[in-house]
Chains A and B, each alone.
Chain A
């Protein structure tokens, strides 16, 4: 499978715990994105990387959220001291700059439930 893969697919955690999600983009894609989606809403942009550089962060990304892409390949999204409001699906996506209108291809998402 050469698509975007995310791990874990589902995570239940207690409030106050830290969680980390991993994303492996499509191999030749140099751009990687994180989005958050809550029930009944479209995906909301969180942050994006071009290679290993984090070029944009949404105001939605509070200080408790951090994303890295250390070698320009896979990425991690960490949420510290989780809150119930963090419960959502976290979507990772990737694209190749300039190709096909920079179409973004998504993974299957990581569902987070904070109890």
Chain B
């Protein structure tokens, strides 16, 4: 089974509108972390937001928020007030296990977001 599933290969959003990028994950660990990264065409992977499995509140970072639904094993990224510069690939990733222990982060296949003026 895929560890991280991103079912939307591509998404369009109108500038200034909000958009939700879907991510579901599969793990039997109790302690894990979920991340979202942005990859513009230049190639750099830019860290956006992090959610720990024990965090009770949904993570927020500026215009980014992570809609964490633990029972459903989903960690959707919400981008509010989209900007043209948000056009990029977005990757969901998961770290299994405790943050202080063994580390391996698995990535999904990504969603290409295009913001329309």
B37 pairs with A106, CB closer than 8 A: yes
Tell me the A1-59 residues at the B interface (CB within 8 Å): 31, 33, 40-45, 48, 55-56
Of A42, A55, A91, A101, the residue contacting B95 (CB under 8 A) is: A101
A102 pairs with B44, CB closer than 8 A: no
- Tell me if A83 is interfacial: C-beta within 8 Å of chain B: no
Which residues of A sit under 8 angstroms from B110, Cβ to Cβ? 40-42
B104 pairs with A91, CB closer than 8 A: no
CA distance A43 to B43 in the complex (A): 11
- Tell me if A89 is interfacial: C-beta within 8 Å of chain B: yes
Measured CB to CB, the closest approach of chain A to B102, in angstroms, equals: 7
The interface size of chain A toward B, counting residues with CB under 8 Å, comes to 29
B103 pairs with A43, CB closer than 8 A: no
Of A43, A48, A111, the residue contacting B45 (CB under 8 A) is: A43
A104-B47 contact in complex given A41-B109, A42-B91, A97-B99, C-beta closer than 8 Å: yes
B103 pairs with A98, CB closer than 8 A: no
The interface size of chain B toward A, counting residues with CB under 8 Å, comes to 26
CA distance A100 to B33 in the complex (A): 10
User: Can you name the residue of chain A whose Cβ is closest to the Cβ of B52?
Assistant: A101
User: Can you name the residue of chain A whose Cβ is closest to the Cβ of B35?
Assistant: A103
A106-B45 contact in complex given A42-B91, A43-B91, A101-B33, C-beta closer than 8 Å: yes
Q: Which one of B100, B105, B109 has the greatest number of beta carbons of chain A within 10 Å?
A: B105
CA distance A101 to B104 in the complex (A): 12
Give me 19 A-to-B residue pairs in the complex whose CB atoms sit less than 8 angstroms apart, sorted by A's number.
A31-B103, A40-B110, A42-B4, A42-B91, A42-B107, A42-B109, A43-B107, A45-B104, A45-B106, A48-B103, A93-B45, A97-B99, A98-B99, A98-B100, A100-B50, A101-B52, A101-B95, A102-B95, A108-B44
Residues of B at under 8 Å CB distance from A?
Answer: 4, 33, 35, 37, 42-47, 50, 52, 91, 93, 95, 99-100, 102-110
Residues of A at under 8 Å CB distance from B?
Answer: 31, 33, 40-45, 48, 55-56, 89, 91, 93, 95, 97-109, 111
